[in-house]
Amino acid sequence: MPVESGSSAAARQAKQKRKSHSLSIRRTNSTEQERFGLQRDMLEGQDSKLPLSMRSNLLDLFSQIEREFENLYIENLELRREMETLNDRLAADGQTLEGADLAKGALKTKASHSTSQLSQKLKTTYKASTSKIVSSFKATTSRAVCQLVREYVGHRDGIWDLSVSRTQPVVLGTASADHSAMLWSIETGKCLLKYVGHQGSVNSIKFHPTEQMALTASGDQTAHIWRYMVQLPTPQPVADVSQTPCEDDVEFSDKDEADGEVEGPNDCPSVRLATTTLRSHQGVVIAADWLLGGKQVVTASWDRAANLYDVETSELVHSLTGHDQELTHCCTHPTQRLVVTSSRDTTFRLWDFRDPSIHSVNVFQGHTDTVTSAVFTVGDNVVSGSDDRTVKVWDLKNMRSPIATIRTDSAVNRISVSVTQKVIALPHDNRQVRLFDMSGVRLARLPRSNRQGHRRMVCCSAWCEDNATCNLFTCGFDRQAIGWNINIPALLQEK
């Protein structure tokens, strides 16, 4: 009768232990549903201020953590048993002291390796579970309410930019690739005026701080200043749109869109002549803005330069050069003579005109792709957005590194910052619009479904602080602008 060797017996024993381990796991999994059902019944019977859905979500997450720790605990017990078996075998073989020490060293190395693997697995499990819990809390504690109030439809091509006038009457302005700019009644959604003086795509629109004048930049290598006079129609009652939490995101196919052409407003009066035409650029003028006081304007172009003009004389005052690639945006400070320009060279530059004799410039290299826009806040901050899917908040007093970084899942286009609420609106290439505070905490995401929201890339956002009905506007390449009512509780803004 053959005698079984010690090594084959140990292998058979280890195989039986692994089999019993797998059976124990199966038994554990088979009773999971019964245990979860019992726990959920107990959960419903408990008195708590948390919503039932939130408590159920927390129970699922903690149950996942418990299962991971249970499996790790069983593996740890098996390792201890294997170590004890090996120790018994060494003692039965009667090895010398040196051999025993060597075996102990090997066992120590194996145990150390197993312990490190166990520690790494615990860390990974803890991080993953913690991130799920944090994301769950973010989704459930954000009670911001976003309501689509009105859609502004009439352009025949995508809308690049929009802005809200700073004087009475308050109107919405849009700049489109259909070579026109339109002024809209915020309350009724009716087109009040159409500017058709450009020969190329209208890439931006900004209103004079104190007068009824608009500044538009175009692909025809010019910027135009034109006056407007509009009379607001009688406000109509807002359609009864149910208030929607800002986390709704119902995906839909592009086939759900209407295939028909958008009809432009036939009864909208038009303006064809500009009061001032600014020429000096050798490429597309992509953006323009008024400096403090409205006596000077700055333009940004694909010719890698930004120009400063005198409004009254139309003369070029300064040419701001230094960017290595095309400019994408320019913005002026609301209370100081500061200009920030952004470029495809992954940088944005701060130009200081506060001292007439010294014009300083600072270069900031915080992004890894095209800087699509950089805007000032009322305080001492600059917020920059990029195609690298990040938004960074900078302090003007110390701009060596950003004070907050927002990481997203899509390229960011022309951002805007609310003066009163201190909220950043991020329009994305993936048709989403997200809201963050100045610390980088996400507050909300505007609802988007087959019934509301943008159907194409969202190009720009703009806040309106003085309107109780619509306080945020967005536009995109679906040829429409949308007015939103954003209600963010003070508690969320303080976080």
Task: Produce one character per residue of 170-204: b if its CB has 16 or more CB atoms within 10 Å, e if not.
Answer: bbbbbbbbbbbbbbbbbbbbbbbbbbebbeebbbb
pLDDT tens readout for residues 286-309? 999 999 999 999 999 999 999 999
User: What is the identity of the amino acid at 296?
Assistant: Q
Residue 77 pLDDT > 80, yes or no?
yes
Residue 6 pLDDT > 80, yes or no?
no
CB 351 within 8 A of CB 340: yes
Decide the pairing of beta strands 270-271 and 191-195: parallel
User: What is the identity of the amino acid at 265?
Assistant: P
Q: List strands edge to edge, sheet with 371-376.
A: 371-376, 381-386, 390-395, 404-407
Residue 357 pLDDT > 80, yes or no?
no
Q: List strands edge to edge, sheet with 442-445.
A: 416-417, 423-427, 433-437, 442-445
> What is the structure's pLDDT at 155?
97
| Greatest mean pLDDT range, 37-51, 111-125, 311-325 | 311-325
> What is the structure's pLDDT at 278?
97
| Greatest mean pLDDT range, 33-37, 84-88, 467-471, 484-488 | 484-488
pLDDT cut 90: percent of the chain above it: 53
Residue 313 pLDDT > 60, yes or no?
yes
Residue 119 pLDDT > 70, yes or no?
no
CA atoms of 239 and 262, how far apart (whole Å): 21
Distance of CA 394 to the CA centre of its chain: 16
CA atoms of 53 and 114, how far apart (whole Å): 39
> What is the structure's pLDDT at 179?
97
Instruction: Count Cα atoms within 13 angstroms, Cβ side, for 272.
Output: 0
> What is the structure's pLDDT at 461?
97
In sign, the C-alpha dihedral spanning 57, 58, 61, 63 is: negative
Instruction: Count Cα atoms within 13 angstroms, Cβ side, for 395.
Output: 8
Q: Mean pLDDT over residues 325-351, rounded?
A: 96
Q: Which residue has the higher pLDDT, 279 or 47?
A: 279
Residue 149 pLDDT > 90, yes or no?
yes
Q: Which residue has the higher pLDDT, 330 or 97?
A: 330
The residue among 423, 418, 419 whose CA lies nearest residue 436 is 423
CA atoms of 409 and 419, how far apart (whole Å): 26
User: 164: which strand partners?
Assistant: 172
CA atoms of 97 and 307, how far apart (whole Å): 86
Residue 201 pLDDT > 90, yes or no?
yes
Residue 330 pLDDT > 90, yes or no?
yes
Q: Which residue has the tokens 């004389």?
A: 313
pLDDT tens readout for residues 407-460? 999 999 999 999 888 899 999 999 999 999 999 999 999 988 877 899 999 999
pLDDT bracket for residue 106 (50, 70, 90): very low
Whether residue 169 is preceded by a cis peptide bond, meaning omega within 30 degrees of 0, is yes
pLDDT cut 70: percent of the chain above it: 73
CA atoms of 474 and 472, how far apart (whole Å): 7
CB 435 within 8 A of CB 144: yes
Q: Which of 97-101, 105-109, 344-348, 363-367 has the lowest mean pLDDT?
A: 97-101
Is 119 buried (19+), middle (13-18) or exposed (0-12) by CB count in 10 A? exposed
> What is the structure's pLDDT at 397?
84
Residue 356 pLDDT > 70, yes or no?
yes
Residue 84 pLDDT > 70, yes or no?
yes
Token representation of residue 8: 């084959």
CA atoms of 453 and 249, how far apart (whole Å): 10
User: 217: which strand partners?
Assistant: 204, 223
DSSP single-letter state for residue 256: G
Question: What Cα–Cα distance (Å) separates residue 115 from each residue in 71, 78, 90, 118, 324?
Answer: 15, 13, 22, 5, 53
> What is the structure's pLDDT at 407?
96
Q: Which residue has the higher pLDDT, 451 or 321?
A: 321
The residue among 456, 452, 480 whose CA lies nearest residue 243 is 452
**What is the DSSP track for 90-106?**
HHHHT--HHHHHHHHHH
CA atoms of 480 and 130, how far apart (whole Å): 41
pLDDT bracket for residue 124 (50, 70, 90): low
> What is the structure's pLDDT at 247?
57
Whether residue 2 is preceded by a cis peptide bond, meaning omega within 30 degrees of 0, is no
